[in-house]
Structure 1
């Protein structure tokens, strides 16, 4: 059976120049490098400069992805930008990226699923390509998440960073089995009952302010382990693959202990799990595409290999995707 697959044609990334180390934070709040590393695996994070917007980060990552794919912006039919930190309440930040790239046709819009945002955006773009409504898509995860932080709250301020990553998808014919290149499947979930465990205490309709992140860390950790396992298991089962066939796990970079537990669940050697949390911290929707771009650029991920991505974020939202590179 012939099907349309969304093949990854290129990757790009951008990180702001300013780096804030754990030692820098320890000079401002009651914490230490040892405390942060032991609990999260984080050593530093990038922070956007004053006047540097989410769209600026997204544009740089997109330009890199387009260059890597060897295509021009006017070949794009679709831009899907996952972000929790848009430049403005409206219009969609994706339209600012569209204009900056010089894309004057097709469509561009944002997706909001917090840390699961990139998986959601990838699923949306994949569906557009599968049904023939687009042939080439740019999927971006971009965040200036540090602007949502209460820098006096050591439970949240040490966890997050800013950055952007992007991938170019191109529609290509496939046989309809697990040997095809491209996105083999995506799996999305949400459960709004867990809102109060991870949210921002503001918004245009409620307080008229941006608000800051509020989180019940222990509860989020507990749910992440079980819900990510569900998403991972579903991706493997629906494609008829075994754990031994997975070449790479590229997880959302939220906590090193969660990352390690997912790698162990898949019986993957530690070197087969792409980890950037030590240098990037949690960049929300940007974390998976940043990690993909790094592993693609340094040659770790090779054509034909099976790559599993997974994430969980506020809402709760969570999901996974299985991709043959």
Structure 2
């Protein structure tokens, strides 16, 4: 008997507070036109002071339950992808497990920054196909506003808060997962980091301890140069061509970056699913939020071929080629 992993439900949650581009005109030297031209972002959601990553993760799962009326009482593993946990320990996943009352579920956080959700899906696939688990919640959630320096014009306009969740289950006859890849260029980690301590690292003094620090040009150059290769390698594993793709769901970092990646990869721009226009860069949550938006807009159909590619801090990446099974 085969053990196959199948995506059976998805959900999302974003905080109520909206911060639009005009709001940034009041705090840093920028403009709505400048932000939109360079990033494609119009607004982003900001968590309340007392709203944390575990809270929005939990609400994304509640949305999943409400949409699909699924029973999650027998979930046996929770994987929470985040770089903004409530605490160093306990994990966000443990808080979610407690909030949901899932007494028989394992719980762990993974931090692969913007690649976290795709890493989480690949881990869930491995756990289920190996027979270790049968029902896994994979959550990507961030409260990046809590580690954003709102005096830094180069980064503060980018980031927002949000959460997305997928339910991945054991199946005997249908799988969502076709091919995947993962890797990291750790020697380029200095281009995107967040440190709690002002230490010397990467051969240079760290800036703004506690906040996100990003060399936007460095990340852009790496992504545009490497993501097309990741796309090609993933498709080649399964003997698919870019023309076979129904949709491309990259990490929603920057619309101009995604357009360049599409052009270099030979993927039509209108096949790219993005969540940044209304939510900004939500790191590990961008891909599930993009998928959720596409479902709401009635773009996705059963059996659509979707390639997800997460990339970011590390600089880490992970891809997942799936067949949409919902």
For residues 66 and 79 of structure 1, the distance between their equivalents in structure 2, rounded to whole angstroms, comes to: 15
For residues 184 and 203 of structure 1, the distance between their equivalents in structure 2, rounded to whole angstroms, comes to: 41
- Name the structure 2 match of 1:193: 187
For residues 43 and 31 of structure 1, the distance between their equivalents in structure 2, rounded to whole angstroms, comes to: 13
- Name the structure 2 match of 1:177: none
- Name the structure 1 match of 2:203: none
What are the Cα deviations for residues 271-305 of structure 1, in whole angstroms up to 9, with x where unaligned? 32212211111000011011111212332111111
What are the Cα deviations for residues 85-110 of structure 1, in whole angstroms up to 9, with x where unaligned? 00111011101101111111030110
- Name the structure 2 match of 1:250: 249
Q: Which runs of 5+ in 1 are unaligned?
A: 175-179
- Name the structure 2 match of 1:113: 112
For residues 146 and 266 of structure 2, the distance between their equivalents in structure 1, rounded to whole angstroms, comes to: 37
- Name the structure 2 match of 1:19: 18
In structure 2, the CA distance between the partners of 1:5 and 1:230, relative to structure 1 (3 Å rule), is farther
For residues 181 and 103 of structure 2, the distance between their equivalents in structure 1, rounded to whole angstroms, comes to: 31
Please tell me whether the aligned partners of residues 148 and 210 of structure 1 are also in contact (alpha carbons under 8 angstroms): no
Please tell me whether the aligned partners of residues 228 and 311 of structure 1 are also in contact (alpha carbons under 8 angstroms): no
In structure 2, the CA distance between the partners of 1:205 and 1:126, relative to structure 1 (3 Å rule), is farther
Deviation at 1:264, TM superposition (A): 2.9
- Name the structure 2 match of 1:97: 96
Please tell me whether the aligned partners of residues 192 and 212 of structure 2 are also in contact (alpha carbons under 8 angstroms): yes
In structure 2, the CA distance between the partners of 1:3 and 1:235, relative to structure 1 (3 Å rule), is farther
In structure 2, the CA distance between the partners of 1:204 and 1:7, relative to structure 1 (3 Å rule), is farther
Deviation beyond 4 Å, 4+ runs, structure 1: 203-207
For residues 281 and 71 of structure 1, the distance between their equivalents in structure 2, rounded to whole angstroms, comes to: 30
For residues 59 and 136 of structure 1, the distance between their equivalents in structure 2, rounded to whole angstroms, comes to: 17
After TM superposition, list the pairs within 5 Å mapping 1:172-321 onto structure 2.
Answer: 172-174=171-173, 181-202=175-196, 211-321=210-320
For residues 169 and 205 of structure 1, the distance between their equivalents in structure 2, rounded to whole angstroms, comes to: 40
Please tell me whether the aligned partners of residues 139 and 168 of structure 1 are also in contact (alpha carbons under 8 angstroms): yes
Provide the secondary structure at the position in 2 that maps to 1:123: helix
Q: Does 1:135 align with 2:112?
A: no
For residues 64 and 203 of structure 1, the distance between their equivalents in structure 2, rounded to whole angstroms, comes to: 37
Q: Does 1:323 align with 2:317?
A: no
Q: What's the C-alpha RMSD, in Å, of the aligned pairs?
A: 1.9
For residues 69 and 17 of structure 2, the distance between their equivalents in structure 1, rounded to whole angstroms, comes to: 29
Q: Which runs of 5+ in 2 are unaligned?
A: 201-205
For residues 68 and 133 of structure 1, the distance between their equivalents in structure 2, rounded to whole angstroms, comes to: 27
For residues 262 and 320 of structure 1, the distance between their equivalents in structure 2, rounded to whole angstroms, comes to: 14
Deviation at 1:204, TM superposition (A): 11
- Name the structure 1 match of 2:7: 8
TM-score, length of structure 2 as denominator length: 0.93
Provide the secondary structure at the position in 1 that maps to 2:70: coil
Provide the secondary structure at the position in 1 that maps to 2:172: strand
Please tell me whether the aligned partners of residues 136 and 169 of structure 1 are also in contact (alpha carbons under 8 angstroms): yes
Bigger shift: residues 264-273 or 87-96: 264-273
In structure 2, the CA distance between the partners of 1:65 and 1:203, relative to structure 1 (3 Å rule), is farther
- Name the structure 2 match of 1:28: 27
For residues 82 and 10 of structure 1, the distance between their equivalents in structure 2, rounded to whole angstroms, comes to: 17
